[in-house]
Chains A and B, each alone.
Chain A
Amino acid sequence: MRYPPLALAEELEARMGPAQAPGSPLSYRAACDHDDRGAYPWQASERLEEWGLADYAVPAAHGGRLEGIDRATHMMRAVARRDLTLAIGHGRTFLGAVSVWLDGRPEQARDLAKRLAAGERICWGLTERAHGSDLLSGELSATAEGSGYVLDGEKWLINGATDSGLACVLARTAPEAGPRGFGAFLVDKAELGAGEYRCLPKVPTYGIRGADISGIAFHRARLPRTAVIGSPDRGVETVLKGLQLTRTLCTALSLGAGDSALRLAAHAIRGSGRAPGPPHEAGLRLALARAYADHLLGEAVSIAAARAVTVLPGESSITSAVAKFLVPHTADTAVARLAPVVDWCAPPEDTARAFAKTRRDNRIVGLFDGNSVINQHAVINQFPTLARAETKQRVSPDAGDVFALSTPAPPIAPERMSLAALHGSSVVQALPTLVERVGAVTAEGARPGAGAVAEAARRLGRAHERVRVELAAYRPVALHAPPEAFDLARRYALCFAGAACLWLWLDNSDGTGTAGADSVDRAEALWADALWARAALARVLERLGDPVPEDPAAGDALAGAMWEQFAGGRLFSLLECRVEDE
């Protein structure tokens, strides 16, 4: 069977039609045209709304189709393949609404669900001109007055601030601020009086040029008491939990951009008059193989994280930080590696334009909604907890469900979410066991390629051991973490990535190489000889400073598998999924 989220993605692909189709509003060409004009692709957006994409931002409990975030993740990837501006525009619905789903009153949630189903738009106002990710410094205030609140101040660099009728904003409710000094509020522009708000001008951006990146200024804007989401002193907590989900979801943007970049590079190569198939030049093949390996690594992390945030909700503060740090980075690396290849092929203007746009747009993913520094910081702040958890080596009994792809991920459970991962990360803590399992599988001799995976696993295990030692020795600094702490956080994240690859491989391949009746459809060429696992782990180990020797045969096989997916109209993925390209 198809991995269920990818089955949905296939439906969506079919509805969107071929990305190369001339005249289609969902084509690369249309996306580029809008981008050049700085115009939002409304026609494309309407097509997605007609299909019912907004339903996946609304919980099933309120009439929508959102349960866990894995389905939303893979659908967002499908849209991002076409146009990141469009994907970000649609993904915004979940970002704007998540605070209500997590902490809103039942009638507030029901009401919002109805409005979103009717096509209303919402934005999420967190950042301010003088305070980016430093939420606790926010100056937009919500002062209790009379029977409601009065909002004063601005939010800036907000996606959709102008074209949304609804806004979820984080506002200071106590003059002394602090973690309990903020509330989250649902603002309806239609209910504000004249002069109580104005939208700030669109900010021209380097990429996603058609997106509405603007702001909103409030001046003594009166909100009813019912506008508050949850308790007026719990806004930061609600937003931070929401960010655990949205940061993980946003890895889909990186995967979509990566898929586009690979596909456009393949088009460039094919169109350059070479013999059919992957290029003969070693340098080009190596670049393709490396980019593809990074893409697959990012996908493995994204698949795992999108499931883990609801399978292991108590660990999501770590899971989301790791995913949001790593996946944009692997996508950035992949896209950068493909750029000289595209250049080299001197492709027709359409391909060159689309690739340049993908590259510009992709850069935003690592910058917004928590950049790499923020996410590393989030891990650093939990070093003492992680150190304790590593000594206990506890692995949740539910953790295996993350990697059991034929089992649906559970719905979001707000009451089980936590701002700190008190028991660490099961995925990372399982590494020693995973290394042993791979060793055992290798000894059995039934899985081709297991030996190479076992070697990589041993190196990963050694890197993890060094991380454990350094975590145990880490002394939190009073003020600011030193660069060495960031490097430790980076390596911790890489351990997560490596562990996710190992576990995904162990639980979804079997000795005979044939899929069982209950297992999900895989891209078989990538699972033969553990090809993808070896390639992804090699990319992890290189970043950890312990590279495995280059394997030209594996590189060739990888370039070949990538080409097969391209020629066959398949998603660049570990799993089977058709795309509509030509």
Chain B
Amino acid sequence: MNAPTTGAAAAAPRAEATRVERMERLLGAPHDPANPLGFPAIAAAGPGSPAQGWETVLDPAERVALFVPPDLGGGFCGVAELIARLRPVYRRDPATGRAFAGPALARAPLLWDEAAPRESRLQAARELRSERPAPQEPPRTGPGHPAGLVRAAMAMAAMDTALRLTLDFARDRRLYHGTVTDLPHARAALADAFARLLRADALVAAAARARPEGNAAPTACADAAALTDAAQTAVSTVLRPAVEDLGVVLGARSYLHEGRHAAFARIYAEVDALDPGRDPSVGRLLLRRLQTTDAQAPVGGALSALADAPLWVGDPQADRAVRACAGLMARTAAAARPVTEAAPAGAAAEEREAFFTELADRFADSRSFTTERSPLLW
């Protein structure tokens, strides 16, 4: 039985796989009460509002470095890299992420399109450099646009934290002469949420790697657009049900705006904003979901497409890694269904246990629960 993550997936093509991401270090220790971007300070922010003082840490220079291409004076070098660098922000607090990255993602279609008029692109870059760009509704970019993929990836970052908080609670909470993680039902719920997260994120990773490095223009690769579409659908399908199921394990604390696990309620409140299915450019996905009885169907279809076609250009190692992940996802489809829906009795117990072990290992090693398994602060 394979562990859910192969060595190949952990050794990502990026140079700093063993170092905590720069952005993570900028955000500081998550549980430090003195940290303005730590969980205690974030919990004090009003519902839906970013952490107070976030702009002094996540300033316009950071935004330019992340989103603006080099030919306009910034440091953007591809969607995969952006996802890795931006994830820490959404892991910490999606509401703050929205305030920080929202204006940039809204301008991304213009910024990243080398064929667009240069003056318009420069104007967009200037707006991002100023202190407070005017907030914008995300434009209709059409399905398959990389900005949508970035949003989907950030949703999984938020889900990472929801899962981490729930596990953090469950490991310590005593109930009926053991801990909550000793209860098979809670353990299964945690394992299932992890499986669903990995499944959706495998598609996100595949879609990100399908775009040639440095070129995020939407027409670069038709396969890339299709994978992006599939990734957004997958994320939209798993996000709310998984967060709901985690909320059941967390219990009353999933409803409180104070305490060690207060960030969970903040993530819950952001689920609609994070859900790619509510992006106007993927509105047709929404309608499709309203009409289908099998919410898993689009994901299943996208997964089988994954198994057959070559995925991207020039990265066979990543290709193997994500295929291995996707293969495991397909085999454990039963384990990945939301617990409140009809599920076959006796879904593979040993596969669930393998997921739980991997989850617990990553928690102990302070590694992300998303595909890249990168180090983080906890």
Contacts and interface: CB of A to CB of B under 8 A. Distances in A.
A286 B290 contact: yes
Interface residues of B, number: 43
A204 interface: yes
Contact of A487 (B247, B251, B343): B343
By Cβ-Cβ distance, the 4 closest A-B pairs, closest first, are A545-B342, A204-B257, A283-B290, A483-B188
A373 B248 contact: yes
* Chain B interface, >50% SS class: helix
A480 B291 CA distance: 39
Contact of A282 (B182, B255, B269, B291): B291
A94 to B, nearest CB: 21
B256 A482 contact: no
Interface in A126-149: 127, 130, 132-134, 137
B278 A343 contact: yes
Contact of A286 (B244, B248, B272, B291): B291
A340 interface: yes
Interface in B31-49: 47
Contacts of A130: 174
Interface in A200-214: 203-207
A284 B176 CA distance: 45
A536 to B, nearest CB: 17
A206 B265 contact: yes
A368 B254 CA distance: 11
A84 B32 CA distance: 36
A481 B47 CA distance: 37
B185 A367 contact: no
Nearest to B272: A339
B257 A157 contact: no
Contacts of A203: 256-258
B247 to A, nearest CB: 8
22 contacts: A205-B255, A206-B265, A206-B268, A283-B287, A283-B291, A284-B290, A287-B290, A340-B277, A340-B278, A367-B247, A367-B252, A373-B248, A480-B178, A480-B183, A482-B184, A483-B188, A486-B185, A487-B343, A490-B340, A542-B293, A545-B344, A547-B293
Nearest to A377: B185
A444 interface: no
A488 B291 CA distance: 29
Contact of A367 (B240, B251, B347): B251
Contacts of A337: 290
A204 B269 CA distance: 14
A254 to B, nearest CB: 15
A480 B252 CA distance: 21
B291 A329 contact: no
Interface string A412-428: 00000000000000000
A508 to B, nearest CB: 29
A557 interface: no
Contacts of A207: 255
A119 to B, nearest CB: 29
B46 to A, nearest CB: 10
Interface string B6-31: 00000000000000000000000000
Given A286-B290, A372-B248, A547-B293, A363 B255 contact: yes
A329 B340 contact: yes
Contacts of A372: 248
Interface in A325-381: 329, 332, 336-337, 339-340, 343-344, 363-364, 367-368, 371-373
A481 to B, nearest CB: 7
B165 to A, nearest CB: 14
Interface string A136-169: 0100000000000000000001000000000000
A92 B286 CA distance: 40
Contact of B258 (A204, A364, A488): A204
A207 B342 CA distance: 29
A205, A206, A287, A479: which has the most chain B beta carbons within 10 Å? A206
A487 B255 CA distance: 25
Contact of B345 (A339, A367, A487): A487
A83 B130 CA distance: 43
A125 to B, nearest CB: 14
B210 to A, nearest CB: 29
Interface in A479-503: 479-484, 486-488, 490
Contacts of A133: 251
A484 B188 CA distance: 10
Contacts of A205: 255-257
B255 A364 contact: yes
A157 B185 contact: no
Contacts of A486: 185, 339
Contacts of A373: 185-186, 248
A123 to B, nearest CB: 16
Contacts of B184: 480-483
B341 interface: yes
B251 A132 contact: yes
Contact residues on A (Cβ < 8 Å of other chain), bracket: 35 or more
Given A367-B251, A542-B342, A543-B342, A340 B258 contact: no
Interface in B267-309: 268-269, 272, 277-278, 286-287, 290-291, 293
A282 B290 CA distance: 9
Contacts of B185: 373, 480-483, 486
A176 interface: no
B248 A206 contact: no
B291 A132 contact: no
A340 B175 contact: no
A495 to B, nearest CB: 14
A550 interface: yes
A476 B57 CA distance: 55
A544 interface: yes
B47, B341, B345, B347: which has the most chain A beta carbons within 10 Å? B345
Nearest to B244: A332
Given A130-B174, A481-B184, A542-B342, A371 B251 contact: yes
Contacts of B117: none
Contacts of A284: 290
A543 B346 CA distance: 17
Contact of B254 (A283, A367, A482, A544): A367
A157 B175 contact: no
A250 to B, nearest CB: 15
Nearest to A477: B184
Interface in B323-369: 339-347, 349
A459 to B, nearest CB: 13
A132 B240 CA distance: 25
A261 B165 CA distance: 30
Contacts of B240: 336
Nearest to B340: A329
Contacts of A490: 340
Contact of A368 (B252, B286, B290, B293): B252
A218 B62 CA distance: 51
A204 B255 CA distance: 9
Given A343-B272, A482-B349, A543-B340, 16 more contacts: A132-B252, A134-B175, A287-B290, A332-B244, A339-B272, A340-B277, A340-B278, A343-B278, A367-B247, A367-B254, A470-B345, A479-B178, A480-B178, A480-B185, A483-B339, A542-B293
A482 B278 CA distance: 36
Interface in B176-212: 176, 178, 182-186, 188
Contacts of B286: 340, 344
Contacts of A206: 47, 254-257, 265, 268-269
Nearest to A545: B342
Contacts of A543: 340-342
B277 to A, nearest CB: 8
A286 B286 CA distance: 13
Contacts of A137: 174-175
B345 A484 contact: yes
Contact of A488 (B255, B278, B341, B345): B345
A336 B290 CA distance: 11
A133, A373, A479, A547: which has the most chain B beta carbons within 10 Å? A373
